[in-house]
Amino acid sequence: MEFFSKDEIINNKKVRIKLWDTAGQEQYKALTKNFFRNSDGILITFDVTNRKTFDKVAYWMDSSVQNAEKGVPIILLGNKIDLNRQVSTEEAKKLADSYNIKYYETSAKNNIGIGEAIKDITKQVLIKEKPNEFKISLIDDKPETEQDSGCKC
Amino acid sequence: MQFDEKIQLIIVGESTVGKTSLLYKYSEGFFNEKHLATVG
């Protein structure tokens, strides 16, 4: 497994974010399961131009809930919004709402949404793990309406 | 390098949805048109 790393300043604290990449192919799914256990947060990704990948979000959601620590923050990412889509924003938002998780639309190519999404889940992790240090100041950080505008829907 | 907090995130989803491209763009700032499938 490969990982990426980036530092962000959140609430005047330097946060090192280690991001584990995984292989999506069927034969590696058992391997991925082991990685859930050590994760503080999970990004479930699908491709808005490929409905089959959206249909598999339920699988990844189940796998996350079964294998990760209880209550771990999860967000849904709809990627490749720079291309012709098969899955609408409304549909994806509705699915995310049904799991009570946030939905972000992203484009790696055009650099849309990804930074916001990762900062959002990082804040969720920090608030969960260190509520006394992060909770109050992060609420003041941005108005609630702005925090919810990840998918601009 | 000093830091105050350290967290670990994992990205999952079907093959070819763009997981590696998203992480690469976020952490390195580049988009790789020629990325092949991540294995293992």
What are the structural domains of chain A?
3-151 (3.40.50.300)
A32 contacts B17? CB cut-off 8 A: no
Beta-carbon contacts of residue B3 (< 8 Å; ≥ 6 apart): A7, A14, A15, A16
Instruction: Tell me how close the Cα of B24 comes to any Cα of chain A, in angstroms.
Output: 7
B5 lies in some domain? yes
B27 lies in some domain? yes
B40 lies in some domain? no
B6 lies in some domain? yes
B24 lies in some domain? yes
Instruction: Tell which of B2, B6, B11, B15 to mutate to test the A interface (max A CBs under 10 Å).
Output: B11
Residue B20 backbone dihedrals phi, psi, to 5 degrees = -65, -40
Taking the Cβ of residue B36 and every Cβ of chain A, the question of whether any pair is shorter than 8 Å is answered with: no
**For residue A146, what pLDDT is reported?**
47
Domain that holds residue B17: 1-32
Number of domains in chain B: 1
**For residue A64, what pLDDT is reported?**
94
Taking the Cβ of residue B34 and every Cβ of chain A, the question of whether any pair is shorter than 8 Å is answered with: no
**For residue B9, what pLDDT is reported?**
97
**For residue A142, what pLDDT is reported?**
52
CA A24 centroid distance within chain: 16
For each of chain A's 153 residues, which pLDDT tens digit applies? 789 999 999 988 999 999 999 988 877 877 777 889 889 999 999 999 999 999 999 999 999 999 999 999 999 999 999 999 999 999 999 999 999 999 999 999 999 999 999 999 999 999 999 888 887 655 555 554 444 545 555
Spatial separation of the C-alpha atoms in residues A22 and A88, rounded to whole Å: 25
Taking the Cβ of residue B28 and every Cβ of chain A, the question of whether any pair is shorter than 8 Å is answered with: yes
Query: What interface predicted TM-score (ipTM) does this complex get?
Result: 0.90
Q: What is the pTM of this model?
A: 0.88
**For residue B36, what pLDDT is reported?**
79
Q: What six digits make up the tokens of A112?
A: 């849309």
**For residue A121, what pLDDT is reported?**
97
**For residue B7, what pLDDT is reported?**
96
Strand arrangement of the beta sheet that strand A102-105 belongs to: A3-10, A13-20, B5-13, A41-47, A74-79, A102-105
B38 lies in some domain? no
**For residue A144, what pLDDT is reported?**
46
B17 lies in some domain? yes
Instruction: Tell me how close the Cα of B35 comes to any Cα of chain A, in angstroms.
Output: 12
8 Å CB contact between A109 and B32: no
DSSP secondary-structure letter at A69?
P
Instruction: Tell which of A16, A76, A86 to mutate to test the B interface (max B CBs under 10 Å).
Output: A16
Per-residue pLDDT tens over the stretch B1-40: 688 999 999 999 999 999 999 999 999 998 887 787 888 6
Spatial separation of the C-alpha atoms in residues A130 and A52, rounded to whole Å: 38
How many A-B residue pairs are in contact by the CB < 8 A criterion? 165
Instruction: Tell which of B1, B2, B7 to mutate to test the A interface (max A CBs under 10 Å).
Output: B7
